[in-house]
Structure 1
Amino acid sequence: MQIEVKQQFSPAAQVHKFGGSSLASAQRFAAVADILQQQNPQQALWVVVSAPGDTTDALLAIIAAAENIAVRDAALNALQVQLTAIVQQTLAAEAAAIVSGQLRQWLAAVPDALVQQQLNDVLAIGERLSALLLSELLKQRGLNAVAVDARDFLRLKQHQPDWTASAALLAEQTQPDCIHVVTGYIARDDKGHSITLGRNGSDYSATLLGALVQAAEVTIWTDVKAIYSADPRKVASAVPYSQVSWQQACQLAQLGNPVLHARTLAPLTGTNTVLQVRSSYEPAQGGCCVVQPGLTEPGAAQQGFITELNDVTLLTLHQDTAITAARLALELQQPVIELSQQGDNLCWLLPAACAEQALAWLAELNVHAVWDTQRYYAVAWLKADQTQQAAVADQLLQQHAVLHRYENARQLIWLLGAPLPVAVLQQLHQQLILPTPALQLVVAGAGNVGAEFLSMLVTQQQRFAAKLKLNLAAVLNSRRAVLADNIAVTDWQTALAAGDSWHAEQLTAYLQALPAPKVLVDITPSSDFARLYPAFIAAGCDIISANKQGVTLPGAEYQQIMQALVQHQRQWLSNTTCGAGIPVQRTLQELLSAGDQIAEVSGIFSGTLSWLLCQYDGSKPFSDFVLDAQQAGLTEPDPRDDLSGKDVQRKLLVLARELGVTLELDDIKLQPLLPEGLEQGSWQDFWAQRDILDTELAAVFAATKAQGGVLRYVAVLSLQHGKVRASVSLQQVSQDHALAAIAPCDNVFVIRSGWYNANPLVLKGPGAGRVVTAGGLHADLAVLINQLIGKAAMPASLT
């Protein structure tokens, strides 16, 4: 569509439409104003508004009661009270008085309008109030705004927009550097009479306006955050799509989809305008983009949809008629679906309530149509792939009395005598849509290990792409966060550098809004962050943790996390909190689940101390080796956390709790490698006193070497004879001991059990380093991914 009028509108104009649910209260008006204030001030802003809440329904009831004066007046009074309350709660007193006065005038004129049959003027009151109220609220916030009655510029002729007249009139209404708040749903015909654009006509108003101002974007703000693969109120597994093709959007609109309406797309077809559907209740979500032909992003395939039509009927016409289904839909302002050609006849599906009107209109044009008078419930499947077969779905629907079936390459429609049970609709969705599951990934901690984890994520995304989408939905550190849908993994550093500061409530709310499934990967060293796990779990997140602080919190706090996991049926995978990439916890879990009994777990649990004691040969001070390890990224952020032995102590507590043993950190006997007092103060303070450590270690090393042994830092958890003993200490072991023959950085876990007693089970490998730790995190992530893939592949009857 091209408008043959030279215009002065900004090529970067935006149009934002807000429906009645987005404007149902003073709080919602404020939320809409917040959204508008966040838009790019360099772009011209046009806003289209519906009537507040259920105002249009109330006005229709008043029209229906026109002959009953008492009922009519009572309804008018009730509506005035309701709307006045919204005005007074939205605006400061002076502005509220002005708007309330205007509202009283409009409502006072209703009885005369009803007498004169000016019904569309009555129905326009809701939109006029929304436009006036929102423009005054924006002014109150210091913005230049004006209310515009769409009837002052929008002209339709025989249900079609008069582009030339509308563009010329709109140019007269346009003010420079101003937010124009325009009434939706209403317009005038070519004779100047007020008309309405049908149910949900405000969306149509928005796209008409978008075409007139040649908008770069039109955003339909509603109460859902996307266009779903099915009704999410009935189908819990409905997929919110971030992108839908224009052709499929037109199909959905034709089928009466509640988000996209039959006439909405027409004004923008063939333009460069981007159409967005977003939720005014969740403005942080990216919503869904309806993509024009030729503008589809790479990898954006056709989507699958299941949608329902209630109370529809069939018309049959001879195929040589000049009237099309689209022409009848325009006249009825209702969807009319051309199902198929059967012999010499056409078969159209339309709302049963419109059948008599359709027959009368067709009769005036000397077109004969047959109405079978049967009222149907319809289920429509829009195919993602033209080769998709419906055999399984047909079999599923056999027992539900399918009366008619119509199929072409793009869609299949079943007509039934009664609505499907929700459980069957869910099964149908499972069989036909077969969505590729998407896992929302939130990464907390972007240091050495975090950066390595994100670097590996690119490969993992490619590896699982055919079966699951790994979507990076947030990256944060202690200072800032980027909370955004589908962050490019290759550009996360840039995104994080441009991120904002964050707080716990904001992060939790964002996690709550993310679609499931979702997982938070904690690569921080923070106990405060770990204390937020119950809130994250309640928001629907599984947890993967390399942060030992969570697993070693005081018992009461640890139990809160465990209770939250049970309550919300979430998982907490923390295999990298002990042993980095070595699967020691997973091995213990498997032994216990198989019926074995663990008697003792011992070994070298610190890759850092393993490296230090393997490398230390007395050739230079021990602290120099510590500095080497720190620079190689082998230590905790403060290496004294390793030297204190507390890191090993925490890891032993991790394993104890993995085995169901009730222990606190202080129950584990600790002999630190760090001399007493050096844990105080800053790292610089320690470095000034490092000779104390160097002297003590040199003496112990010399004595051990003289006896032919080696130094190892050893943890022991004994569960024998009903007693629990736990200790961490520096020990001298002989050269032929199992803990002597290790490589620098190795962890060694020695497991004695009922099955592995005389010959214990030994796990050995690198226990420190960003690569092995990041790899261990990805191993935990793979567990969740494979569970999701398995669940997606499971027959619907078993899920």
Structure 2
Amino acid sequence: MSLEFTHKSKRVVHKFGGSSLATAERFHAVADILLAQNDGPAGVVVSAPGDTTDHLLALIDAKADHAAFDAQWQQLAAQLRLLVSRTLQPASSVEVTNLLNHWLADIPARLQQAQYNDILAIGERLSSQLLAALLRDRGVAAQAIDAREFLRLKVQPTDGAQVDWQQSAALLKPLLSDGFQVVTGFIARDQQGQSITLGRNGSDYSATILGRLLDAQAVHIWTDVDAIYSADPRKVPSARAYRQVPWELAIRLAELGNPVLHAKTLNPLKEHPAELVVRSSYEPDQPGCRVSRQSAIEVQFVTDVADVVLVTLPATNSIAAAQAANALQFSVYEAPGAQGKQWIVAQKNLDALLHFLGSQQVYPRVSSEHFYAVAWVKPAARQQRQLSLQASHWLERQQPVYSFQDEDVALWLFAPALTAAELTEFHQLLLPTTVRLNIVVAGTGNVGSEFLALLAKQQQAYAGQIELRLAGVFNSRKACFSDQIDVHQWQEALEQAPAYQKQDLLDYLNGLPDPKVLVDITPSRAFAEDYVEFIQTGCHLISANKQGVTLPLAQYQAITAAVAQQQVSWLSNTTVGAGLPVQRILQELQGSGDTVHQISGIFSGTLSWLLCSYDGSAPFSEFVLKAQAEGLTEPDPRDDLSGKDVQRKLLVLSRELGLSLDINDISLTPLLPPGLDQGSWQDFWQQRQQLDDLLADKFATAKAAGQVLRYVATLSVTPQGPKAFVELLQVPQDHPLAAIKACDNVFVIETDWYQTNPLVLKGPGAGRAVTAGGIHADLAILARQQIAAAKAARHSQAQAAAWANQRA
């Protein structure tokens, strides 16, 4: 059962653990996170601050030793009062401190009545009151709710504590108000009204329970990691960070005792559509990892558990391992392929398991030996579920004591335990670290189609070094998001795909494993304005779209800031000159210590063709018509004649030099006479004589001087500041801008090193083939970066393994 909120947007539930709430600074960081989410009404579940629960347990253990109890009580009271005073404004601090003092003073009475769970609840109650008061200090509505006011559990001997959904929902509804509902994790009441706790990682469980009760659209578990890893990264440096995990694999991983995911945490959402997201409270801008029912991403895991025993059940046993785990609130795992007759459990939990089974008249055999368990949670693709020959040989050498396997999981028990180096080696054999770059292509027009046609050749060229995987292709109408697209059949895949939605793209990019790149081959300004959101998914960006690099300065700087924050690359070398590497040359000149003083040139292939072809023998407008007929102009040729495209390209180069210019800082003299850019093309055509007369006069003057006409962009960097112009000029016949072919782009670069003899770059500046080739040049740069990073990572892993071996 869930509550319906017809008058509000669906809620999001956020859960923060003790490490996220350990200090006043961390409380303020959590408040910052909540205020930045823009989720609307939100539920917030909190654990006890830092190690508060450990201190409360120590108090309970010291109940018979008055001196020890008093000392620990004083220490805890001082610690928590200091936390309150440092977190809140004075008025709020007094209110919360009074509550805290009352709870602390009540501890001896609770001890006498053996109400230990009420004592343990103090930590969560304090976090709830403290965070709610802090949010109110920040000027937003928030209330603290003790989960025991609504959360009711039915405690059964064989099934453990089960949520009474109907009663809990009914009790919660009148407690809710606008703003943040800050709810205690870990604690609840049974149906007799006694306080009970939800066990290990109980606050995560509280969060998903609340998510289901509130009919939340998502539950965000904030921890100290921003991904779910293919193995414990503290032991396996090469562990992969996954941004999306399929629901079925998450359940299997949780059953094995994963430190981030827990089976009981997932239970409330099994039949509820809410998305579970694991995020880092220390890196709140990272997207985290989504546990998704729609995930198409291939993931797999290697998880290890030290000091376990093998429990063999009698043939008459009817209790399932999952049932025991739920009742006991710790991991009890059924060995794969053992038909439920052999379980794996941590040695520290064995006595509790045996007591539970004994209460049900079940008496198992327990291995005398302790083992080190390693499980491989297999990927969904059946062709990837078989052990490689190398992994099989490795296992033969290691000689596990027991091996279990079914379609989904393989599990081995070793004695003695594997070293970190051995676990890393096994992980490498099960999940080979072949470098893969996931490529998502936006735009399937002339240039986009050519880029995709060339991609198959590039995949072959880089085979063995990096896998260039087409993981998405879309246009303004349809979107195919899958990491299984055949580059030879992308048209068919796109034809059968659903309509494009921006949110679908963001969700997909968030879940797509790193490294990944979005290739923008669209002309869309609206799409470019969303670059920051795309980059925040951890995505590299290649832009053939000039709109992104010529947005207003504040928007452009927001994109570059996001690139720096996410530590990704933004390559846009085709936005000026198509395949000509002018931006790359500027980057290399500056990177090597040279200083650029001036860039000038012909930046429009259309205007290059027109002015090279025009000889005065016919009106200029006839040459415009011919260019239009040959497909050399925009649909409305006035877009070319306006000079605005040249102006944008000069802005791109100015920003490449680090200059803070905006489009209006560049003086523009259009080729069109004033007023001819207004109205329809037919209106222009009736007034074309103005253009013809203007160009005829300019041409005659230039010819008389022995010069030629060129439409030139110039950027000069002077001690007084940059100066930028776009205008029609006369240039001498021996000038680098004169001796060109029709359609050529020319870039003349003057620097400290190239002053008397400038650096000249010349060639076709437009065309689908050269532009697509230029995009592939950017992709090659990114691919080489990833190959180098992978080599560096392998070197670091080898050093870590060698260090681990020395330690072992």
Cα distance change, pair 460–184 in 1 and its aligned pair in 2 (3 A): farther
Residue equivalent to 2:386: 389
1:90 corresponds, among 81, 87, 90, to 87
1:410 corresponds, among 401, 408, 411, to 408
Cα distance change, pair 61–467 in 1 and its aligned pair in 2 (3 A): farther
Residue equivalent to 1:107: 104
Mapped contact 1:334–1:351 kept (Cα < 8 A): no
Which amino acid counterpart does residue 325 of structure 2 have in structure 1?
Answer: A
2:321 corresponds, among 310, 321, 325, to 325
Deviations 1:410-459 (A, max 9, x none): 0111222355444444444444345886658999xx9xx99998898888
Mapped contact 2:608–2:743 kept (Cα < 8 A): yes
CA shift, 1:235, in A, is 4.1
The gaps in structure 2 that reach 5 residues or longer are 460-466, 475-501, 510-517, 588-599, 628-632, 660-664, 675-690, 715-728, 749-759, 799-808
Deviations 1:641-698 (A, max 9, x none): 99xxx999999x99xxxxxxxxxx9xxxxxxxxxxxxx9955379978x999986764
SS for the counterpart of 2:231 is: coil
Aligned residues, how many? Answer: 674
Which amino acid counterpart does residue 258 of structure 1 have in structure 2?
Answer: P
Which amino acid counterpart does residue 145 of structure 1 have in structure 2?
Answer: A
Deviations 1:341-361 (A, max 9, x none): 65x982110111011222233
Residue equivalent to 2:263: 262
CA distance in 2, matches of 1:389, 1:786: 31
Which of 625-634 and 59-68 deviates more? 625-634
Cα distance change, pair 164–412 in 1 and its aligned pair in 2 (3 A): closer
Deviations 1:140-187 (A, max 9, x none): 344443222222222221223251673266247524445432211011
CA distance in 1, matches of 2:145, 2:583: 66
Cα distance change, pair 454–97 in 1 and its aligned pair in 2 (3 A): farther
Mapping of residues 171-190 of structure 1, within 5 Å: 171=172, 173-177=174-178, 179-190=180-191
Mapping of residues 180-579 of structure 1, within 5 Å: 180-292=181-293, 296=294, 300-301=296-297, 303-340=299-336, 346-384=341-379, 385-387=381-383, 388-391=385-388, 392-433=390-431, 467-468=468-469, 493=524, 496=527, 515=538, 524=549, 540-546=567-573, 576=574
Cα distance change, pair 41–243 in 1 and its aligned pair in 2 (3 A): closer
1:46 corresponds, among 43, 47, 58, to 43
Residue equivalent to 2:703: 701
Which amino acid counterpart does residue 161 of structure 1 have in structure 2?
Answer: Q
Mapped contact 2:247–2:292 kept (Cα < 8 A): yes
CA shift, 1:112, in A, is 3.7
CA distance in 2, matches of 1:178, 1:764: 61
Residue equivalent to 1:742: 741
Which amino acid counterpart does residue 277 of structure 1 have in structure 2?
Answer: V
Which of 399-408 and 424-433 deviates more? 424-433
CA distance in 2, matches of 1:435, 1:584: 35
1:120 corresponds, among 112, 117, 120, to 117
Residue equivalent to 2:488: none
CA shift, 1:613, in A, is 4.6
Residue equivalent to 1:24: 22
Which amino acid counterpart does residue 152 of structure 1 have in structure 2?
Answer: E
Mapped contact 1:461–1:470 kept (Cα < 8 A): no
The gaps in structure 1 that reach 5 residues or longer are 474-480, 547-575, 590-602, 655-664, 666-678, 716-727, 750-761
CA shift, 1:227, in A, is 2.7
Cα distance change, pair 278–784 in 1 and its aligned pair in 2 (3 A): same
Which amino acid counterpart does residue 347 of structure 2 have in structure 1?
Answer: A
Residue equivalent to 1:718: none
Q: Percent identity?
A: 41
Which amino acid counterpart does residue 409 of structure 2 have in structure 1?
Answer: Q
Mapped contact 2:81–2:97 kept (Cα < 8 A): yes
SS for the counterpart of 1:541 is: coil
Residue equivalent to 1:56: 53
CA distance in 2, matches of 1:578, 1:684: 19
Which amino acid counterpart does residue 224 of structure 1 have in structure 2?
Answer: V
Which amino acid counterpart does residue 313 of structure 2 have in structure 1?
Answer: L
Deviations 1:717-745 (A, max 9, x none): xxxxxxxxxxx9955379xx999683433
SS for the counterpart of 1:264 is: helix
Mapped contact 1:198–1:333 kept (Cα < 8 A): yes
Residue equivalent to 2:495: none
CA distance in 1, matches of 2:787, 2:15: 38
Deviations 1:299-348 (A, max 9, x none): x2553122222222211112321222122212321111100465x98211
CA distance in 2, matches of 1:400, 1:198: 36
CA shift, 1:380, in A, is 1.5
Which of 534-543 and 381-390 deviates more? 534-543
Mapped contact 1:605–1:767 kept (Cα < 8 A): no
Cα distance change, pair 405–649 in 1 and its aligned pair in 2 (3 A): closer
TM-score (normalised: structure 1): 0.68
CA shift, 1:256, in A, is 1.0
TM-score (normalised: structure 2): 0.68
Does 1:683 find its partner at 2:669?
yes
Cα distance change, pair 166–228 in 1 and its aligned pair in 2 (3 A): farther
Mapped contact 1:618–1:701 kept (Cα < 8 A): no
Mapping of residues 587-598 of structure 1, within 5 Å: none
Mapped contact 1:250–1:265 kept (Cα < 8 A): yes
